Chain A
């Protein structure tokens, strides 16, 4: 879609984003941009603050400092609630309802058209299970119901927390194709993963470690900058260069 993008603000812009949880600083003043019409991968080891960052972007995380702007409005503002789709790491759908019943309810809450549940069930490949109780589905199928709920109402920004964990390779391939289609349609996607080999499917990458942004750029740029042959080695090279990471070593910081 041509009306997106050109000249308009990025889908997400964070400046100095700081989050403190239980007295521990989880995000240390992050600055980042996520463009529209593309798939941005948020990569980093488990526990590095990816979920906290995503929660800050959808506006459910209490923030200690800094700003997050989403589609031109402050994160979490009422105007964004039907324009941003969010998929949590654990599937957040009702186990005691059928797939269709779940999606009909969320569609009603979003004010999405009545045909939307059928459309998104097809998009995640669950048409054969449309009337099955969610609790009886496999973990991967449940994750796809949760993803389908985020696709209702055709949001402009999709925030997906590890959407492909536990899926078989064929399904993962299908989902990445779906993400690509959505991005080509003008949506912005921010997809977190701790699996580095998913990096090559993204247009841009944000590499995170210990609540800090290590690097941002296209996969090709990151490889060129580090001279590494894959994203895993690029990540290691960036950790070795990072002054904060060095300071964290026992012999480093005198304080």
Chain B
């Protein structure tokens, strides 16, 4: 690993985003608009907004980073820039960490905006400290990034990459406890939900809405999110092969 090359990669990814203001706007504004919409949907049931809104604060960064990373990495593969980089003295870890830094920063800005809006204007009540909310949101963003990186290896076109969203993320969304509490699911669904990382992202956010401090379960949730992100990143790194057929 090399700090200069990692930072250069992060700068380059951010420069690419800077040339694409529409994407930046979508990344930052769309979650806020959706959260505002949700707030007015649950106008008569504010306690329901507290539950769903907090869960969505964890889901949006994951969703958005998954999409952006899978398409960005697929472009690196299909335009030949990845092959060029791999003939240069760039380590695979430099590339991955560069992406993680750049998109992690975007995830953080997104989380700050979305939380400021929901906690401030929209009146979401969260018992835990705000910084923990950001920590969970950024962890979710990085998990989404790592998953996106992994699936980009299995997509040949951008059409396919986008289809991985319903294939990989939607089942997690259905089983994460947002629609039906995980405790009330049939045993088999419960087991599946137990091994899907998004469940822990939503659990962590839900815990923050009721508990004031950091408890062992929250730490466990964060550890699972981080572990899943690292596992996906390691698997993704294994798909970045210098020599291909």
Contacts and interface: CB of A to CB of B under 8 A. Distances in A.
Interface of A: 21-22, 58-63, 76, 78, 81-82, 84, 86, 88, 90-98, 101, 105-106, 108-111, 133, 149
B84 interface: yes
Chain A interface helix/strand/loop/mixed: loop
A63 B244 CA distance: 9
Interface residues of B, number: 25
Contact of B5 (A86, A94, A95, A109): A109
Interface in B66-124: 79-81, 83-90
Nearest to A89: B80
Q: Which 3 A-B pairs have the closest CB atoms?
A: A92-B80, A108-B8, A81-B89
Contact of A97 (B5, B12, B242): B12
Contact of A106 (B20, B86, B88): B88
B12 A101 contact: yes
Contacts of B83: 60, 88, 92
B120 to A, nearest CB: 34
B210 interface: no
Interface in B8-39: 8-9, 11-12, 15-16, 19-20
B245 interface: yes
Contacts of B245: 21-22, 62
Nearest to B242: A60
B88 A76 contact: no
Given A62-B243, A62-B245, A94 B89 contact: no
B167 to A, nearest CB: 26
B102 to A, nearest CB: 12
B45 interface: no
B94 to A, nearest CB: 8
A92 B78 CA distance: 9
